[in-house]
Each structure stands twice: as structure tokens, then as C-alpha cells.
């Protein structure tokens, strides 16, 4: 699975930014400025995020890390986008599940 992560830019110089010790390519988000949150995948900022969206993504990533560590306490507050609904499988996986398949 590939996951993009929110990072806050400390410094911007043309199409490059620094977030901590990491250099970020800003070619896809040229409007990004120092202090902005950007969604980074493979060293490239895909888009600028507002602080609330960055916080929601970081909370969900914390939740995933907790699940991977085997933590089974209430983690619902870390997955705000799922509040009040059950996660849905993509159509091709739902069809496989409905057909009784145990593996995709």
C-alpha cells in the first residue's frame, strides 16, 4: 500500500521545499509557501492541505500504526472520515465478497 503523508514546509526555494531534513519537490504544488502543509508522496508534494485536513490525515495514520501494533482500544476518534458509517469495499472487492471469495 502506498501512503502520502502530510508535512509542514519549513523553507521554500523555488520548486524545492524543506520539511525537517527532507527535501520536497514542489513542482505539482508551486503555490506552496513556508509554513504550509503539503501532502507528500515519494518526495513530491501532491497538493497543499489546510491545517484541519493535515490533522485528520495524521490522526488516521496514527490509528493505522496503533492497529498494526495490535492495539485494540477504541480508535474511532482517529478516523473522523468514518464517523457514523461503516467503511465500504470497492465494487470489485464487494462482488468478490458477495460471491463468497475469501481472498481478492
Instruction: Per-residue pLDDT tens, the chain, 104 aa: give them.
Output: 678 999 999 999 999 999 999 999 999 999 999 999 999 999 999 999 999 999 989 988 888 888 778 766 676 667 766 667 677 788 888 888 888 887 75
Pairing verdict, β 22-25 and 16-19: antiparallel
Q: Which CATH class is domain 5-50?
A: mainly beta
Question: Given the C-alpha cell 482517529, which residue does it identify?
Answer: 78
pTM of the model as a whole: 0.70
Domain boundaries along the sequence of the chain: 5-50, 52-98
Amino acid at each position: 500500500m502506498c501512503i502520502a503523508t502530510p508535512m509542514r514546509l519549513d523553507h521554500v526555494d523555488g520548486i524545492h521545499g524543506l520539511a525537517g531534513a527532507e527535501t520536497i519537490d514542489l513542482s505539482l504544488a508551486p503555490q506552496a509557501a513556508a509554513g504550509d502543509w503539503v501532502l507528500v508522496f515519494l518526495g513530491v508534494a501532491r497538493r497543499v492541505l489546510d491545517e484541519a485536513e493535515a490533522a485528520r490525515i495524521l490522526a488516521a495514520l496514527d490509528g493505522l500504526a496503533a492497529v498494526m501494533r495490535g492495539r485494540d482500544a477504541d480508535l474511532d476518534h482517529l478516523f473522523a472520515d468514518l464517523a457514523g458509517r461503516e467503511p465500504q469495499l470497492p465494487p470489485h472487492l464487494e462482488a468478490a465478497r458477495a460471491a463468497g471469495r475469501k481472498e481478492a
